[in-house]
Each structure stands twice: as C-alpha cells, then as structure tokens.
Structure 1
Amino acid sequence: MRPDVHALVGAYVLDAVDDLERAAFERHLRECADCRAEVDEFREAAARLADTAWSVPPPALRANILDAITTTRQDPAVPVRAVTPKRRFHLVAAAAAVVAAAGVGAAVYAIQDQRVRQERAVAEAARASEARVRAILAAPDLQVREQTLTSGGRVTVASSKLTDAGVIMLAATSAPGEGRVYQLWTIHDDDPASAGALGEGQAATVRIVQGLPASSAVGVTIENAPGATTPTTPLDALVQL
C-alpha cells in the first residue's frame, strides 16, 4: 500500500520517491500550504548541516523507513500525542535527512590518500546514527512533545522508556548571530546537564540522548560559542517531559 500523500514529505525531500509518487506529491504541493512549509523546513535544515554539500541518500533508505513503519505496533494509551504512522514517517524522514546531511557535511573535509577511509568512516557513522534514530522512533511506547523556540522554529523531543533513550530534533528558523550557538540541555530534578551545543552557523540538529526518559524536561538556550557549562536564562524553549 502506498503511503498517504501527506506522508511523502520526508521521502520527497530525500528524493526517495518514484516518478508516480513525485508527480502526485508535486500536484498535492500546489494545494497544500502545510506540506509546502514542511518541505521548506526539511530542505533548510539539511542544507545548513550539509554546508552546501548534498548527495542522493542510500537506495535502501526509503524501503527501510517504510518497513519500520509497517512493522511498528501502535500504543493506543500514549497520553501525550498519538504517534500515528503518518507522524512517525515524518519524524523518521526528517531525522534521516538531517543525519544524512551531517554525514555529507563532515565528508567534505577528507583529503588526499585519507579521503576514502574518512568518507567510509563518516558513512558508517551516519548509517549507525540513522539506525539508532529509527529504532528509537519505532518504539511502541514512543512519546513526542514539541515546543516553539522564542527565537523562531521548534524543538521536538521523542522519548521511549523501552529503549531508555530519546531523540532531540532542533529546527530553528535561523542560526544565532556571530559568535553564538544553540545548546541543548536535559533537566533532572532541576539539575541541567548539557546535551551538546551546535556549531556556529548551525540551526538544525538531531541528537540521540541515552537515558532521556529519566529527565523531567529538555531545554534550548542560545550561548556564546562554543557553549556553556550552565544554561543562560531565560531559556529559548523548555519542553516538559
């Protein structure tokens, strides 16, 4: 069965649709402002992380994503927001786009005789990260929460107690000013811990956080590069878990 046309957003951005799906989705885009906005967001996030470098995703990526969706059991008792197959597809596709773009962006620094080995290592790391993200997002107890950023954009937090892990996906409207970076925080019993800072000029990321379900909240701040040891207040976003 083909996915609902709305669910083709991620695959379309990744160029992982066939000719019939592409034609149908492009017709749909002319009438659906929401899908046009999502396409623009996904493309912008991937472009920023890739630093103007981009390549076609692996041929198996779309099949793997669709397979993960069709084999995922849905939990009707999720209390926060129902994680439907369409929504799960969007999360997986968006995360895969950013993970793939990050791998490509890192690969451009490979030089001379080390280039092949470095590119292979980057590709393997990207595949491992993608697989881990897909495994977390396919968990039957997945809970998803979103919050808008004061500076513009949004942060999405998906967590699973069964995997004892979560995924933080940041998609800001734009990068902070020169010398400033976005930084992610996990908060447990009012004690914040850094979950990593983005690089200068970056406005999107996907971070896997082991043990995330034990946290009470996830925060986003804007800090002086390369990051801070304690969060600057007020936070740009706070996602209660």
Structure 2
Amino acid sequence: MTIDIHTLVGAYVLDAVDDIERAAFERHLRECDACRIEVTELGETAARLADNTWSVPPPWLRENVMTEIGRTRQAPPAVEAAPVTRTAPRRRRFAAAAAAVVAAVGAGSAVYAVQDQRVRDQRQVAEAARAEQARVRTILAAPDVVLSRQDVSTGGRVTVATSRLHNAGVVMLAAEAAPTGRVYQLWTIRPGGAPQSAGVLNEGQAADVVVLEGLPGATDVGVTIEPPKGSATPTLPLVADVKLA
C-alpha cells in the first residue's frame, strides 16, 4: 500500500517514523500549511494527555448534573413569608441557572467528544504507520533481500528491495518535484501482463515508501509522471524503470 505523506502527521508527532519518512515528511511540511497546523495541534493535544489533564469537562459531568437536578426537590415557597410576586422570579432564576449549567456542560462535552475522536483517529494513524514501518524493516532485514536502483530522469532515485522469503518488496522513491499540475505514479510490470498501478503520489509529493505484496513476481517497477489522481495506463516515457533481479 502507499503511505500518503499527509497521514504521517500522527506518526511524526509521536516519533514513530523512520529516517526516510522523517526526511520526506519534514520536506513536505515546508510546503503544506495544513500539515503544519495539524502537527502543532496534535503536539499540544499529546502534551495535555501526557500531563493527565483535561482541557474541557469529561462526558460524565453532564449526566451527574442532570441526575442531581432531577432528584433534588425544591421546597415550595411559604405564602406568608414570600409574596407570590417574588416566587416566580426565584423559580425563573433557578431555571435559568440550571439551563446555563446544562448548556455549558453540554457544550464542553461536545468539544471534548470532538477532541477525543480526533486523538483516537490520530492514534489509529500512528498505529497503522508503525505497522507499515515494521513491515518495511522486516523486508529490508530479510536474509534474501535484493536491492535494485535506478535514477529518475527528472532528478532523484528510486530503490526497490525485494524478498522472495516474504513475497513482498519495498519501493523507496526520492525524486525532485514533479512538474506543476503533475504527480508521480508507480507501476509494476509482470510477464505477459499490462502494467498495474502501485500507487499515486499527491501533488507536490516527491518522496514515498511503498510496500508491495507479491512483488518478486514482477520484472520491473516503473515510475511515470501523470495528471493528478493518476492514470489507468502509464504515460510514456517512463521516468524510471527498475529492472528486478
């Protein structure tokens, strides 16, 4: 699968990326305002979690407040001690105060829920990144790993590591930026078959690490320059054609 450079935000903040991913992501950060904001915000959230503090009330607070309001009886006003004209405002003040408390707690709970979901999403991204990183390391450390390299005609290099023991390979692209309005696309070429897409990079993305299952059955890994979102078939000429041993 292709590791979308944008999804490395969580892994980068949690220091769960390898040296290649870190270099690629830090280069990407110089060009992507959205990712810079995400890194800053997630870093602040991670710091708050590390301090074991909450920036907003926890969800159970609203339930407790509502329970107490429901079971606490209000003493009826004494007619002799308080004129009728004063009890209605008192009840209105209590109702208004209770509504304000509930509204504030409800708003806080909503903010917490959004923040909590965002943290869970980022954790899932980080876990997926760690699993992908572990798979990359396993393939690269295989006793039968074979490395093949090819320069990219637009600048840079693509390296392919294959392991028959794991029936998989790792494609590591580190190229110069593609022309404006174009993206890099990876392809696998197998005997007697049409080239198959192995991943499309985002606009402005020139580095990627891709794990390809079943790669030892291919003869070539190609790189082309395509329109955004890629093409169904390669646009020739290939800017890199890595022959696999």
- Deviations for 1:140-175, whole angstroms, at most 9, x for unmatched residues? 00000110001000000000000000000000022x
Gaps of 5+ in 2: 29-34, 43-113
- Deviations for 1:12-46, whole angstroms, at most 9, x for unmatched residues? xxxxxxxxxxxxxxxxxxxxxxxxxxxxxxxxxxx
Distance 1:132 1:97 in 2: 19
Match of residue 162, structure 2, among 159, 162, 187:
159
Distance 2:7 2:180 in 1: 16
Does the aligned pair in 1 maintain the 2:185–2:230 contact within 8 Å?
yes
Which segments of structure 1 move beyond 4 Å, counting only runs of 4 or more? Answer: 50-54, 95-102
Give the 3-state SS of the residue equivalent to 2:241 in structure 1. Answer: strand
Higher RCO (Cα < 8 Å, 6 or more apart) = 2
Does the aligned pair in 2 maintain the 1:95–1:169 contact within 8 Å?
no
Match of residue 20, structure 2, among 74, 78, 94:
94
> Structure 1 107/121 Cα, relative in aligned 2: closer, same or farther at 3 Å?
farther
Give the 3-state SS of the residue equivalent to 1:146 in structure 2. Answer: strand
Is 2:59 the counterpart of 1:57? no
> Structure 1 168/160 Cα, relative in aligned 2: closer, same or farther at 3 Å?
same
Q: Which residue identity lines up with residue 15 of structure 2 in the other structure?
A: P
Q: Which residue identity lines up with residue 237 of structure 1 in the other structure?
A: A
- Deviations for 1:183-216, whole angstroms, at most 9, x for unmatched residues? 0000001521000100111000000000000000
Is 2:143 the counterpart of 1:213? no
Match of 2:69 in 1: none
In the superposition, the TM-score normalised over structure 2's length comes to 0.57
Distance 2:115 2:198 in 1: 34
Match of 2:143 in 1: 140
Does the aligned pair in 1 maintain the 2:167–2:213 contact within 8 Å?
yes
Does the aligned pair in 2 maintain the 1:95–1:133 contact within 8 Å?
no
In the superposition, the TM-score normalised over structure 1's length comes to 0.58
Does the aligned pair in 2 maintain the 1:50–1:101 contact within 8 Å?
no
Distance 1:106 1:114 in 2: 20
Distance 2:152 2:142 in 1: 27
Alignment of 1:1-150 (within 5 A): 49=5, 55=13, 57-58=15-16, 93-94=19-20, 98=24, 108=38, 112-150=115-153
Q: Which residue identity lines up with residue 184 of structure 1 in the other structure?
A: L
Q: Which residue identity lines up with residue 179 of structure 1 in the other structure?
A: G
Cα distance, 1:98 vs structure 2: 4.9
Q: How many residues align?
A: 160
> Percent of aligned pairs with the same residue?
50
> Structure 1 214/116 Cα, relative in aligned 2: closer, same or farther at 3 Å?
same
Cα distance, 1:115 vs structure 2: 1.2
Is 2:212 the counterpart of 1:182? no
Does the aligned pair in 2 maintain the 1:98–1:206 contact within 8 Å?
no
Cα distance, 1:49 vs structure 2: 3.9
Gaps of 5+ in 1: 1-47, 62-91
RMSD: 3.3
- Deviations for 1:71-120, whole angstroms, at most 9, x for unmatched residues? xxxxxxxxxxxxxxxxxxxxx74357658999xx5993986342111111
Does the aligned pair in 2 maintain the 1:57–1:100 contact within 8 Å?
no
> Structure 1 106/159 Cα, relative in aligned 2: closer, same or farther at 3 Å?
farther
Is 2:234 the counterpart of 1:231? yes
> Structure 1 51/216 Cα, relative in aligned 2: closer, same or farther at 3 Å?
closer
Does the aligned pair in 2 maintain the 1:136–1:159 contact within 8 Å?
yes
